Structures are given as structure tokens and as C-alpha cells.
Amino acid sequence: MQRWNNRVAVVTGASSGIGAACVKYLANNGMITVGLARRKERVEELKTGSNSDRIHAIRCDVQKEEDVIAAFKEIEEKYGPVSVLVNNAGITRHSDLLKEGNTEDIRAVIETNVLGIVWCTREAFRSMKQSPNGDGHVFLINSVLGHQVLNFPLNIYAPSKYAVTALTEMYRQEFLNNETKIKITSISPGGVLTEFMSATEEEIAGMSFLASEDVADALIYCLQTPPNVQIHELTIKPIGETF
């Protein structure tokens, strides 16, 4: 992690779960870490011990392009160019695609899980190009549901994650075409036990889950790879997961 020391990392959806764990892990590994979230106060609560001066919070709704543009402008003005972006913000809705009156749910998922990544990665890329190192690393927190569709009533969630899988390859090609040294990594976890999960205790009884920290640990592993190594896709499943 030495080459990332005191450089700027941005994490979206940073108020809880995987995002919050990534904020803490990046800060503890020496990066100036900015958490973007609608619940800015939750990111502020992550400041503990020796990492307190390396964690910063900005209120941002990634569904809103204007919020994203303003947030990255503030980051550059206060902390410098972005070196690492963790596109973690994501939502799901538990309903069927055929259900009447579901327009708002569908739109919210697409705008957060897909367009949010597009807005943030575009702004981060512009910032990364300004770095004297000419490098950077973009992460897309994907899902195993971005590679297989299971019989869950998750509305447009799985298709949105399939889009993330396609975006990973599109960004790899565009970073290459722009002659940059910026890496792209998709991390696809299986079940992760966070407040994001709305299932009841009875529904998840006997199931296997990852912790948010498991995903953050994998992210740090990817960051430590040599400059010539790019982990394009990393799938993580808990022992005992049955799908």
C-alpha cells in the first residue's frame, strides 16, 4: 500500500455496510478517504483513533449527476486529485418486474446502481488524469447476481448488476484507449450480512454470509498488486453458500 500513502480515495454509499468498511480499511492503510453518502453524519461517525484525520464526509446522492459533479469538485479543491474510487452505492427493491406501479422502484435501482457508477467514474477519471503519477484504481462493487440470475423477487437488481459486469470491461477498454495506467476491478460478493438486507431472521436462518470487512479486505488486496497486474474480476463467496 506504500504507493497509495496519503493519496485520495473516494467511496460511495459510505454510510454503512461494505462502504463503511472500505472507508475504515482505506484510511487505516494510509489513504485520505472521502466517504460520499446521503447520510453524511454516519460517515463522520467512522472517525476513530488514528484514522480520524484521514476520514472525511460529503453529502451526495449518486442518482443526481449535479451532486456527483459538485462532490468531486469539492474533493479536488480540499484534498487533491482522486487516486482510488470505490463505486459501492447500490440499492435493491423486493418486488416483481411485472408488478403494476413499480416505475419508481425500477428507476431508483437503475439510477443508483448503473448511472451512479457512470457519473462517479467519469468525474474520478477526469481527476485521475491530473495526477502526476498518471495512475489510479477504480472498483465496482458488483454481485454474484451480476453473473447469474436467481429466483429471487429482486425487481431490476440482477439486470443492473449485469450492467456493472459489462461496464467493467467497457472501462478497461476505455482506460486502455486513453493510454492511462488506471486499473479497473469488479468485486462480486455472494451474500453479505448488512442492513442492506431486508430479509427476516427466519428467512436467513441457516444461510452463510460474508461480513462487510471480508469485501474491504479483498479490496485492499487488489490495491496491493504490482502496477502491471490488474485483477479484472474477483468473486467472493462464503463457505457454505449453496448458489
243 occurs within a structural domain: no
Find, among 12, 5, 11, the residue nearest to 224 by Cα.
Answer: 5
pLDDT band at 96 (very low <50, low <70, confident <90, very high): confident
At residue 196 the predicted structure's pLDDT band, cuts being 50, 70 and 90, is low
Q: How many domains does the chain have?
A: 1
> By mean pLDDT, which of 17-21, 64-68, 92-96, 112-116 is the weakest?
92-96
| pTM for the predicted model, two decimal places | 0.93
* Domain with 8 in it: 2-236
Q: Read off φ and ψ for residue 219, nearest 5 degrees.
A: -60, -45
Confidence (pLDDT) at 199: 53
The percentage of the chain sitting over the pLDDT mark of 70, rounded to a whole number, equals 95
User: Is there a domain that residue 242 lies in?
Assistant: no
Residue 200, amino acid: T
241 domain residue, yes or no: no
pLDDT band of residue 78 (cuts 50, 70, 90) is very high
- In DSSP terms, which residues pair with 225 in a beta bridge? none
The residues assigned a catalytic role are 157
Lookup result for grid cell 453518502? 37
Q: What is the CATH number of the domain that holds 93?
A: 3.40.50.720
Q: Which of 122, 140, 125 is nearest to 22 (CA)?
A: 140
How does the average pLDDT of the chain come out, rounded?
92
